Structure 1
Amino acid sequence: MTERLQIGEVSARTELSIKTIRHYDDVGLVTPSARSAGGFRLYTEDDVERLLTIRRMKPLGFTLEEMRELLGALDTLAAPDATPARREQATAYLAECHTRARQACDDLARQLDYAHELTNRLARYR
């Protein structure tokens, strides 16, 4: 049987607040795979992976709709019955996201370099 995690455990593993995880459920990005008899959200490892994908996209400026589209593309590629046309469309979107993420990494690396330069420059005055 697949292990099911409660929202607090998922929050600890993903470093997302419970409020944020609930919001992603409310907007339909990551719906818990099950509910307990008491109505509590229960998540699988796949759900956690989806949340981690979102967590990685958010600081790079992806919108909720772009996150939804990327998760859909990943689902399409994982589906054995996806048509070749849908697979091609999903692959193209993932390539766009990869390019955008790569550019964000380059931009962040440049900002980090600037921060190091400033820190080193200011350290002379300590």
Structure 2
Amino acid sequence: MPPDVLHGVIRQKTPTAKAVKELLMFPLNMSPLQTTVARYLKRYLGEVDMCKLQLFLRFCTGSNLIEEKIEVEFIETSEFQRRPQSHTCSSILKLPLCYHNYPELRSDFNSILTSSVWVMDII
């Protein structure tokens, strides 16, 4: 493969905030609460650095690179159980609806993405 082609492929697969936001597939008819949480998520993705974008992709899809769409589902949880969840095999992100403000969502994602509990390494 010529170097120019390889560099082009790498550029296509490298996450940017805009590219990751475009991967998100929200339900067609969202309630006002779902729309608010979706806006918080998009804001979060627009503010994080490259490292956290890659961690977000890995959390949702199992890969650090742009590969496939991410289906977003909204779930009802209590405040105590509130945390984003994902299914990497089918690239599904489940977001709780009980976020009262953006800092709550940001805090939950930062905690999840920077913890080493969910890290998946293939040996």
Q: Give the TM-score normalised by structure 1.
A: 0.27
Q: Give the TM-score normalised by structure 2.
A: 0.28
Q: Give 1 or 2: higher strand fraction.
A: 2
Please identify the structure whose Cα radius of gyration is greater: 1
Q: Give 1 or 2: higher helix fraction.
A: 1
